[in-house]
Amino acid sequence: MKTFDAIVIGAGPGGYPCGIRLGQLKQKVLVIEKDSPGGVCLNWGCIPSKALISTANQFEKVKHGGTGIKVESPTIDANELQDWKEGIVKRLTGGVRSLLKMNGAELVMGTATVTSANTVEVVGADGAKETYKADKAIVVATGATTIELPTFKFDGKQIIGAKEAVSLRQIPKRLLVIGGGIIGLELGMVYQKLGSQLTVLEFLPNILNGVDPECAKIVEKRITKLGGTIHVGAKALGYERQSDGSLAVAFEKDGKRDTVVCDVVLVAVGMRPNSKGIGLEQVGVKINDKGFVPIDKLGQTNVKGIYAVGDVSGPPLLAHKATKEGEIVAEIIAGHKAAMDWVTIPGAIFTDPEIATAGLTADEAKAKGYEVLVGKFPFSVLGKAMAMNETDGFVKVIADKKTKQLLGVHIVGPEASTMISEGALALEMAAFLDDLSMTIHPHPTLGEALMEAAAHAAGHAVHILNR
């Protein structure tokens, strides 16, 4: 039996950084992966989807111009697009393998099962079994998997999940997305821009549940403007295959039954944690009723020596949260002082326009007992946004009225995903409105909108009327 200081199960955005950091801290570490290094994020999640999103946005701009550019009938080559995307995935996953090796971490491919608080059994592709021992810790970083609806079983061609949706080599003429959340809208808008007629069915009263409602409304308007249809409060019931190969999907809305005909159905109703069937229950690790593995501020489960990081440990299911957790747990295992004590985990949604958030919404702040100040600056009056011909959206800041301390930043508009980092840093440093409004931002930039929004909340904005 080979012995290591630590064993990490899963080489996704939580597991592989944990393995790398353990190696940097001179720990003998084994990382086990059953599919491909990089996890969901690198193989069919974050990176592949953003590659498609980037191309779709460029294609949309070329088609419609609007700034003096004239292009005759642009077309999209789906095969070439997929080849390019797969090349990116191959480079990045290969990079993970190299980084693990260069930092002294051993990578083993196979399916892992926790057999005790300090042993893991691995079954390789050839069926061979091997047991490994961890002297200090086992880290569970098994991630999450797309939820499948009983009435919409995946067939990999016409009923698909996100994994298949990033690999389509033919643009659907009509695409139906079940689920108006982040994944459904990001990928739905990709294919809408590449030529699909988009329909979205969302069971809840609003799309992008949990996001600032004003931000979500901007994206909803954009989808509609591009010719898409969104049904909220709609329950997908099932489908019938038509003689021409299309699918007639039945749904219920406001007590009435209706049907929409499409060529492909993308089921995007969320992710479930990969916590079952890997031996955790057998060794006493607690799993809650939603399938997540509860952890404390040190990343430890209820069983001493067994840690969990990333999606399997609970929401938000974000790659950057998983990475930070993996690094922190590695430091704890190596004997360093560390803890999951962040102020905020920023989120980015790559719809059109983008949405990015950090901290509390106004409603969340009020629920916590704050009397709030809200500052808002629209991109429609920002010079750089006009120059980019991307003026939809705004920057909104939330602050405590009494102290003027920043509580939240919410952006919908161009480059929101990049801009939110300043907001996250401000929250981590306990910044006040004056810290943002008095920091000189270069002109002309999109970042000025954050400065202006803070000034607006404080009542001294110069490029927008103060309340």
The residues annotated with a catalytic role in the active site are 443
Please report the beta strands in 110-212, taking only residues with DSSP state E, as ranges in sequence order: 111-116, 119-123, 129-140, 144-146, 159-160, 174-178, 197-202
Residues 6+ apart with CB under 8 A from 465: none
Q: Which distant-in-sequence residues (6+ apart) come within 8 Å of 90 by Cβ?
A: none
> CA 263: distance to chain centroid?
26
DSSP code for 103 = T
Q: At 94, is the secondary structure helix, strand, or coil?
A: helix
CA dihedral 207, 211, 212, 216 (to 10 degrees): -30
What is the C-alpha separation between 232 and 222, in angstroms, rounded?
Answer: 16
Instruction: For residue 109, give the 3-state DSSP assignment.
Output: strand
Q: Taking the CB of residue 233, how many other CB atoms lie within 10 A of it?
A: 13
Omega prior to 294 cis, within 30 of 0: no
CA atoms lying within 13 Å on the CB side of residue 166: 25
188: helix, strand or coil = helix
